[in-house]
Chain A
Amino acid sequence: MMDKMDANVKKAIMLVAVIIVCMLPHILSKSIMTIVCSIMGYLIIAGALNVINGYSGQMCFGIAGFYCVGAYTMAILMNTFHVSFWIGIIPSGLFTAIIGALIAIPTLKMKGMFMAMITIGFSEVMRLIALNWTSVTGGTMGIKGLKAPMFFGLKTSGASRYYYIYLAAVMLFLLSTDRVIHSRIGRAWMAIREDDMAAKSLGISLNLYKIINFMYGAFWAGIAGALLAPYKTYIDSAYFTLDEGFNILSMVIIGGQGTLAGPFIGVTVYQFLVEGLRFAGVWRYIACAVLIIAMMWLRPQGLAGNSESVLAGKKNRSRSIIKLPEVFSLDRTFGTRRLGKANIG
């Protein structure tokens, strides 16, 4: 009886939440919708980074490079080849995924700071190519005049209408990531993160799953970029600097790596800090920097993070043989999964 009640109450809450989320542009003012849209955009890219850094424990610090590739692919497809947004979005993601594989293959054996450095180098090279290959990318002028797409005759330009495209993309992202994370692939990623030697000894192909991981993350990063281009109607290389990559990384870390809810919390906190403290001028960036350092001191696994994981800063914990079965039950990871669902609604 009680359970049934609970289920009904849950359903009602879900329904109200869905209605609120769908009606958001009619409730909130236009300036707040701009912030909401940027949160949605960051949510996809931070989620993509979270798949790479959080779930398989690789150190990709250059997510802005994939963002850049996706956005420019979309912009070039729309501007030069006059491809519709709806047709162009999947190829942009797929192209970015191929680039992701090209980065993943040579870095399979790398770990730690080498991996971080090579992805940072990649990110800068992508930005510099976008900045200097004037005949294709417009160089310092960027690509102008991109149009927000038409949806069966409805215009989607402007934050309060484009919001629905972002909403659909975020929902798709969360659904597909949730499915992937709880499949064989996702479990393999988590096993690699917790202890790669043990994972290998259980017959998990490290190379294959790391490449899949990078390609999946890069795909969604590319989609995030492809969504950004028509929303801003103008892109240039200044959107994809290293600092932008570090901002996205800090959102993921503040929220908590390796959880679905983590990027959501991190992006929201970070964006409200940056936008909400606008009166404080440049001091708000100092607040962000202090927040990053404080998180590393107090809660390295992030706000929604799992304190039992290697991400919580306990080095070599899972290296001891006695604790191996406990790691592989991965019960606690499912604990965070429930938290994730509750938070996302």
Chain B
Amino acid sequence: MDGYLISQIVNGLCLGLIYALIALGVAVIIGIVGFATFTQGEIVMIGAYSSYYVFLWSGNNLIYGMIASFMITWIIGMILYKVCYAKFFDSPEYISLICTIGFSMLLKNLAQIFFGAEKKPMLNIIENRIYHLGIIEVSRVQIMVLVTVLIMVTILSILFTGTSWGLKLKAVSQNREAAALVGINVDKTAMIGNCIGCAIAGVAGTLIGIYYQSAYATMGATLSMKAFTSATLGGLTSVPLAALGGILIGVTENIGIAFSSASFRDIFSFGFLIIMLIFKPTGFRRKRGARA
């Protein structure tokens, strides 16, 4: 039982890292664009599919696959921004929310038409080998996930803290009008923020495809909810806390599975969401600035 529990925690951590990546994307989108998104799960699905086709073409080249999913979901992010957000900054938020629901239905059904309803196998992208560190067993895929997530997070933090782009994104997320006053192209910057959020989710899609060894059209169904759940921990806009939330949810789910059955997986994450929203809807972020 002990070994089983530990391996479940390791699995949970690994899955949690992927959730963290998706949740990071959600936090970036909500922080910079200011609207919630229901499309994140479908973006993950598009990311998985695009890397699947690139893996077929390039003979399982991991780097090509990730770059492809990053770029394609970036383009989808641009379309998403134009369709669902650009026109609705002055409207009630439910309008853009419903637009994203429509867009996610569109993506899901288009994927079913063009890629087929059956699961696409993504076998042996990485040679499956298990390393033993004392009592802990870690597979090669899990190490790959960890490394990728760390690289992505590092790039993001450099982008946000060290470049002028990051400064612009921060300015837009803090106050749109003031940012426009100091000469920032708000529309373009918000679009870039949305694209970054989507592209991170695309890379997470590649990781999920490799982790579950398949890509299929409905794989994103609950992922956007889980990402949102993770993001609530940081009051929806805090990037590091969203990542922490993702890891927490992955671990909670897998520990929950260890004590009950795998079919209860989603109940744990949605229960977590409901409890979190009822008792602490603003998350654990200290309040700064006006945007809530």
- By a beta-carbon cutoff of 8 Å, the part of chain A in contact with chain B is 59, 106-107, 110, 112-114, 116-118, 120-122, 124-125, 128-129, 131-132, 242-243, 246, 249-250, 253, 282-283, 285-286, 288-290, 292-293, 296-297, 300, 310-311, 313-315
Contact = CB atoms under 8 A, between A and B. Distances in A.
Interface in B232-246: 232
Contacts of B101: 246, 249-250, 292
A310 B95 CA distance: 11
Nearest to A282: B113
Which one of B88, B92, B281 has the highest number of Cβ atoms from chain A below 10 Å of its Cβ?
A: B92
**Interface SS of chain A: helix, strand, loop or mixed?**
helix
14 contacts: A106-B278, A121-B225, A122-B270, A124-B270, A128-B266, A128-B267, A132-B263, A132-B264, A282-B112, A288-B105, A289-B102, A292-B98, A293-B103, A315-B91
Contacts of B87: 297
Given A125-B270, A242-B221, A292-B101, A118 B278 contact: yes
A125 B267 contact: yes
Nearest to B270: A121
Contacts of A289: 102-103, 105-106, 109
B274 A122 contact: yes
B110 A286 contact: yes
Interface in B97-144: 97-99, 101-103, 105-106, 109-110, 112-113
Given A59-B94, A113-B93, A117-B228, A290 B263 contact: no
A111 B103 CA distance: 23
Contacts of A242: 221
A122 B267 CA distance: 10
B102 A128 contact: no
Contact of A293 (B83, B97, B266, B274): B83
A311 B225 CA distance: 25
Contacts of B270: 121-122, 124-125, 128
B109 A293 contact: no
Given A246-B101, A292-B98, A296-B98, A124 B106 contact: no
Contacts of B102: 250, 289-290, 292-293, 296
Given A132-B261, A292-B98, 4 more contacts: A121-B273, A289-B102, A313-B88, A315-B92
The 9 tightest CB contacts between A and B, nearest first, are A292-B102, A289-B106, A289-B105, A113-B36, A313-B91, A293-B102, A121-B270, A285-B109, A106-B278
A335 B204 CA distance: 51
B90 interface: yes
B221 A300 contact: no
B116 to A, nearest CB: 11
Given A120-B225, A315-B92, A290 B267 contact: no
A58 B229 CA distance: 20
A166 to B, nearest CB: 27
